[in-house]
């Protein structure tokens, strides 16, 4: 079924649901899971404003992965956490192509509704650009 699954998380409820589903699918198909967090200039600025030192930023980012890592370990799923750089949709699609993923799992919404109207959602952009199947979780 699946051998390499990329799941994009940003700490939102939908992204954590996506991670749960990716782990579920990985367990069934014995796939390897890449848990990715895309950092762009907006994310970096927000991280700096909320945490004033690089150690604090690293710790805050790791908190986003904690529950996902615990779930993967509990289910016996092999995984790797990656922080990738760039505009989120492009970075996720490019990473998936690099690791030859055959599935991307992503939450339907991470940004506020207003930002989605102005910028377009990351999940929508990933759907349009990905060369492998994409599972969008509500």
**CATH number of the domain to which 95 belongs:** 3.40.50.620
Residue 64's pLDDT is 75
Residue 117's pLDDT is 52
Residue 138's pLDDT is 85
Query: What 3-state class would DSSP assign to 128?
Result: helix
- How large is the average pLDDT for residues 73-91? 95
- How large is the average pLDDT for residues 128-138? 95
Name the residue among 32, 44, 138, 133 with its Cα closest to residue 84. 44
- How large is the average pLDDT for residues 92-99? 98
- How large is the average pLDDT for residues 92-108? 97
Q: What is the pLDDT of residues 21-57, one digit of tens each?
A: 999 999 999 999 999 999 886 555 455 445 555 555 5
Check: CB of residue 22 under 8 Å from CB of residue 5: yes
Task: Report how many domains make up the chain.
Answer: 1
Its pTM stands at 0.84
Check: CB of residue 22 under 8 Å from CB of residue 106: no
Average pLDDT, the chain: 84
The band of 6, judged by pLDDT with boundaries at 50, 70 and 90, is: very high
**In Å, what is the CA distance from 78 to each residue of 9, 29, 88, 97, 137?**
17, 12, 24, 19, 21
How far is the C-alpha of 2 from the C-alpha of 14, rounded, in Å?
Answer: 22
- Domain hosting 110: range is 4-137
């Amino acid at each position: 079924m699946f051998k390499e699954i990329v799941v994009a998380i940003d700490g939102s409820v939908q992204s954590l649901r996506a991670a749960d589903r990716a782990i579920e699918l990985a367990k069934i198909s014995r796939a390897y899971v890449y848990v990715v967090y895309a950092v762009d200039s907006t994310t970096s600025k927000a991280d700096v404003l909320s945490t004033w030192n690089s150690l604090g930023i690293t710790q805050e980012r790791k908190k986003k992965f904690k529950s996902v890592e615990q779930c993967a370990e509990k289910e016996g799923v092999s995984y790797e956490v990656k922080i990738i750089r760039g505009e989120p949709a492009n970075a996720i699609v490019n990473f998936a192509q690099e690791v030859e993923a055959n599935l991307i799992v992503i939450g339907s919404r991470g940004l506020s509704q207003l930002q989605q109207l102005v910028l377009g959602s990351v999940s929508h952009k990933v759907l349009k650009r990905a060369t492998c199947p994409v599972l969008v979780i509500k």
